[in-house]
Chain A
Amino acid sequence: QLQLQESGPGLVQPSETLSLNCTVSGGSISSSSYYWGWIRQPPGKGLEWIGTIYETGSTYYNPSLQSRVTISVDTSKNQFSLKLSSVTAADTAIYYCARHGRKQLVRGWFDPWGQGTLVTVSS
């Protein structure tokens, strides 16, 4: 059974860079032919797609965050990562990683999801 697990600091200073990893178990990112994404949810609010990566490193980002976001993949560790620069309190959220639902197609739903990790931006 495919499982995803987010990891990284729970507290980030304003203006610093938020860095998170998503470790995939029960399956391999390489040769999976799936896209892998990041979604966030501010406390008590709705869901926002951040960006997506393919095993080859091809990426798609939400235009509203594109100038600050970098998503990368490390197939040797079976991980993909998120970096969000110049964070403010507005970036405080639960950050989820997830697999896209259809092989070789970026347009699709997200399933499964990691359990999420809360990142607070505060000094």
Chain B
Amino acid sequence: ELVMTQSPATLSVSPGERVTLSCRASRSITSNLAWYQQKPGQAPRLLISGASTRATGVPARFSGGGSGTEFTLTISSLQSEDSALYYCQQYNDWPPLFTFGPGTKVDIK
């Protein structure tokens, strides 16, 4: 079974700082990875697909990278509105079995 892990579980960052979140797959998923942002009481919002393609309307401060088993989501200059949970999701498996990572919580100092 393909397992997704994320690190760290939580982090507290000051506004304006650069933030890098990690997502790891237990085996290669090439670039079949998406990132989502979820704020309290809201549905997840797609940020990144294909490991590095920003979704429509997503600010340029969000960028995704990586391939194979190691992926990153970088926020170049953290804004207060970026306080949220961030999830990665793989869509590599066939037959389809879409799995999400456990999430990283980003707090604003």
Contacts and interface: CB of A to CB of B under 8 A. Distances in A.
A47 B89 contact: yes
Contacts of A109: 34, 46, 49, 89, 91
Contact of B98 (A49, A96, A111, A114): A49
Contacts of A60: 95-96
A15 interface: no
Nearest to B89: A109
Nearest to B50: A109
A46 B103 contact: yes
Contacts of B101: 46
Contacts of A46: 87, 100-103
Which of A37, A47, A112 has the most chain B CB atoms inside 10 A of its CB? A47
Contacts, number: 56
Which of B92, B96, B97 has the most chain A CB atoms inside 10 A of its CB? B96
The number of chain A residues touching the other chain, given as a range, is: 20 to 34
Contact of A115 (B34, B43, B97): B43
Interface in B14-71: 32, 34, 42-46, 49, 55
Contacts of A57: none
Which of B34, B44, B93, B103 has the most chain A CB atoms inside 10 A of its CB? B44
B96 A106 contact: yes
B40 to A, nearest CB: 11
A77 interface: no
Contacts of A112: 46
Given A52-B96, A106-B96, A111-B55, A47 B32 contact: no
Contact of B96 (A107, A114, A115): A107
Interface string B74-105: 00000000000001010111111111111100
Nearest to A62: B97
Nearest to A106: B96
Interface of A: 37, 46-49, 52, 60, 62-63, 96, 101, 106-116
